[in-house]
A and B are shown apart, each in its own frame.
Chain A
Amino acid sequence: MYLKGIRFSVFVLALLLIPVGMAFSEEYPKRPVTYIIPFSPGGQSDLEARRQQPILEKMWGKKVIIQYKPGGGGALAWSFLKRQKKDGSLICGVNLPHIILQPLARENAGFSVTDLKIAALFQETPIGLAVHKDSPFQSLEQFIAVLKDKPKSLTIAGSGSWSGHHITHLLFQEKTKTEAVYIPFKGAAPSVAAFLGKHTNAIWANSNDLLQHKDKIRILAMATAMPYETFVNIPTFKGHGYDVVFSIYRGIAVPAGTDDGIVKKLESAFLDIAKDPRVQKQMKAEGFIPAVMGIKESEAYVTSLQPVLQEIVVRLK
């Protein structure tokens, strides 16, 4: 009799809680949302967030507060995110491959990729290899030929160690069976400056920088799977027979274990912005590829990327 009563009351309580749980996710966001940028102000992640901020505020009717937590190539912010409340009140920009690479490259990164739940990826930045306009290298073949002839005779600038550029460099060396000297800089802007000043022979650069400086440089190849639509005439590494395909993705994440309803809300909000033709047009003009990848697609991409990166890091570290 008593047992029945307890069972019944538990059942009733559970029933009562369902709408509470639904209301919880339905009403998101109830409070201002803090949007963490894992890099310095003025960087590309910041600008993307500043573009989204007013649209999100209009959509949600709540304030969106942008805060910066630069450091450790993003690891500082992501290890912080892991420890935050799982109620969606704090969201954080994420970059791929960074969130996979950092825990792989060093054990003290403070987070692992499973600690983060990606709600959406909204921007892709292809990487390309470029030399100066007056450089003797007219094509990728010539560049590789010189390296084959004299290994380590050329320097290539890039942004960061164990970063997207560094991995592309390592992939390039492996697939072409050559060796070049990778020179890491503290960010894309200083690497471009040093390259333009002819302090290195070549550069690994993001598509937006390649577009911006296109009059002063010659792009040898892009590390995309298909020819990149802004530079249709420029070959890909794949076209040359080298399987070097690598892009940087930007997106948004919450701590793993956040209510699915909230993650879905975030997914739809960020994908709506990513699909906005005005935003897409701006992004393309700046030299990016608008991406529209939701929870499932992002997860699939991370799962596919992880073994590849793991293999590279373990082998080359």
Chain B
Amino acid sequence: MFSQLLGGISSYFTFYNILLTFGGVFLGICFGGIPGLTATMGLALLVPLTFTMSPEAGLILLGGLYVGAMYGDAIPAILINTPGSPAAIATTFDGYPLTQKGKAQQALMAAAIASALGSLLGNTVLALAAPPFASFALLFGPAENFWLGILGLTLISSLSATSLLKGLLGSAFGLLISCIGMGPGGSIRLSFGLESLQGAIPLIVSLIGFFCLPEVLQTLGAGGAGKAGQIRSSWKGAVSEVLRTFIAKPLLVVRSAVIGTVVGFAPGAGGNIAGMVSYNEACRFDRSGQMGKGKIEGVIASETSNSAMAPGSLIPLLTLGIPGSPPAAVLIGALMLHSLRPGYELFSGPQSNIIYLFIASLMGAALAVACVGVLGSSVLKYILRVPAAILMPAIVLMSVVGSYAIQYNLLDVKIMFLFGIVGFFARRLYFHPAPIVLGLILGPLIEEGLVQSALKLETEASLISVFLGSTLSRVLCTICLASAFWPFLAKLFLKRNSSSGTEKQTIKSGGTVPVNPDLALGCFGVMMASTFYFMTKHITVFEDMLFVRISLLVLTALSLFSVVISFKKKEKVYIFNDKNEYKTIFTSLFIIGLMIYFLDFLGFIITSLFFNFFIYIMLSKKTKKNPFTYVKAGVVSILLSCAVFYCFQYFFEVYLPTMKFF
């Protein structure tokens, strides 16, 4: 196998192949870096292009895109606290604090190098040991997936060390929201009578809503100031700081890569949680107590792991023909169209040279990511220097486009807006969105595993033989228990600061609208639980109800507990710093709402133009205003709207709404 890999590597090194790789990587970074565009969409878009190429060239291009996208999603995570794809959630935990400290460049570089290393290690496993690992992937059945999902939920305990209760509440919200749409038994649940809600709410829409919009509102509320710290260190200084971190922590990289590859195998689990699992482990081994406050190690853990996941998910794909992730599903289609049939024969048969060339190209792509990332970080950091009056509208426009493009559904944009408002107020109550998104990711996995196992009960006698029948499910169950109780054990035996992924926002005393956070969240939870209960009361299909009922029960219990606690703790926080912020935020929400409301009728260009104009004027309120400001605002708005519209149309083939009455 090793010699075959060397053969692959040596035949990879041609100018044409390297050009293809760089092209693919560049596209991948774009698709990964824009929240709402996914690697899957990019791959699907390229597949027809590869028809005219040789199978080798086509695969190299697609592989480059896949690897590039795995890095690209870290860029918005670091710069604007919004993961480009669900896989990069954990990258925000330390990446954004680094930006706030003025170390955006270090974070970007670390992400690129970590991504490349993760990819290289993952691909080495893929090249040398795919067949034996493939059979491991098949061990994941309904019960194992169920335990894997529960294991994912135990991450909350470390993601929300400030308040475990809030973390649990958040994930219960997430679990329930994930029930919207079609259940395993075929009934439509919680659709609010809307046809468009028959499908689940796309993960990316919630992600943009919960992460991106609150961040924008925060900045707008502060009058567009105080976003990122000053970038102080030089390029050279940044490089040496990042490299020193890597050299000091080789174990961190290896551990994260292993976690990523292993999680990548499990069909259905998806790489979405790979980054979080490995971030969690990094916290556990961290002794400084600075995780979550801007440590390069946090970025490394998350990015290494989510990039190692990609080759991991290719293992079951190439050996068994079972895609471990959505982008892998597109790749299998591309393989079939070039009449490469997945199977063990791919690695030993006559077509093995193509596959090893493909793996070599993935490694090449990893190196390309490192180059592009390290050099590009000096360019990317200038995004932070763009004035808020331009950057903020641009981010909002991207959010709108991103949530629209995922399935061309205007309802998704409205949901994104709603989640954004919820996310903003939740954040002001010291409530981090990560547990909600975790619940959203894991809900379907747990539900499917639970329902399928429950159905299996009809044949097998006991609960134990279904849920703990295999060795893997017993192992996973044990890890679940250990992981759930780890924070308590750690507190008992090891006296050290437990780290947290949530940052406390400092709100000055003497603001407006005082709220007791536990009481507010508890009441919200009770309201949501009762609404959802009455909406699903009529459904009788067992498969569709089991998980909803359990989640409702959990949410009700947690909410009531939160209410009880609130009377004891009597905590009080102010939602708004002052009257001015209060006004600005509601004005901004009104303008964004208007834009979304008229989007379908007036088209993207017109609505976004007005939106840009108003935000620009609003943010320049503090400085002197003269006619020239309005002219400038107009020009900037027109340029920005048209740039976004045409860039998406011609470059990404995303067609935005146009005016209806022409």
Contacts and interface: CB of A to CB of B under 8 A. Distances in A.
Nearest to B267: A193
A121 B398 CA distance: 38
Interface string B14-52: 000000000000000000000000001101100110010
A286 B336 contact: yes
A189 B407 contact: no
B141 A79 contact: no
Interface in B347-377: none
B268 A190 contact: yes
A225 interface: no
Given A42-B44, A110-B198, A212-B342, A189 B459 contact: no
A275 to B, nearest CB: 19
Contacts, number: 167
A190 B326 contact: no
B655 interface: yes
Contacts of A154: 459
A43 interface: yes
A152 to B, nearest CB: 5
Interface residues of A, number: 58
B184 A190 contact: no
A200 to B, nearest CB: 8
Interface residues of B, number: 62
A131 B534 CA distance: 43
Contact of B459 (A106, A109, A152): A152
Given A65-B653, A76-B199, A79-B195, A42 B333 contact: yes
B329 A42 contact: yes
Contacts of A239: none
Contact of B198 (A72, A199, A213): A72
Given A76-B196, A108-B188, A152-B459, A194 B141 contact: yes
Contacts of B456: 155, 181, 183
B198 A161 contact: no
Interface stretch (A11-19, A47-55, A133-141, A259-267): A47-55
A41 B48 contact: no
B323 A105 contact: no
B333 A50 contact: yes
A71 B183 CA distance: 11
B322 A189 contact: yes
A185 B445 CA distance: 11
B332 A53 contact: no
A189 B448 CA distance: 14
26 contacts: A40-B329, A42-B330, A46-B330, A50-B337, A51-B337, A54-B48, A67-B407, A67-B408, A69-B409, A71-B199, A72-B181, A72-B182, A106-B186, A106-B188, A108-B191, A155-B459, A166-B186, A181-B455, A181-B456, A181-B458, A183-B455, A184-B185, A184-B543, A185-B452, A189-B267, A213-B321
Interface of A: 34, 40-43, 46-47, 50-51, 53-54, 65-73, 75-76, 79-80, 105-106, 108-110, 152-155, 160-162, 166, 181-186, 189-190, 192-194, 196-199, 212-213, 215, 282, 285-286
Interface of B: 40-41, 43-44, 47-48, 51, 137-143, 181-182, 184-188, 191, 193, 195-196, 198-200, 267-268, 316, 320-323, 326-333, 336-337, 339, 341-343, 407-409, 444, 448, 452, 455-456, 458-459, 543, 653, 655
Given A41-B329, A42-B329, A71-B200, 4 more contacts: A46-B330, A76-B195, A186-B444, A192-B322
Q: Identify the 6 closest CB pairs spanning chains A and B, nearest first.
A: A71-B199, A199-B141, A72-B198, A42-B329, A161-B186, A197-B138
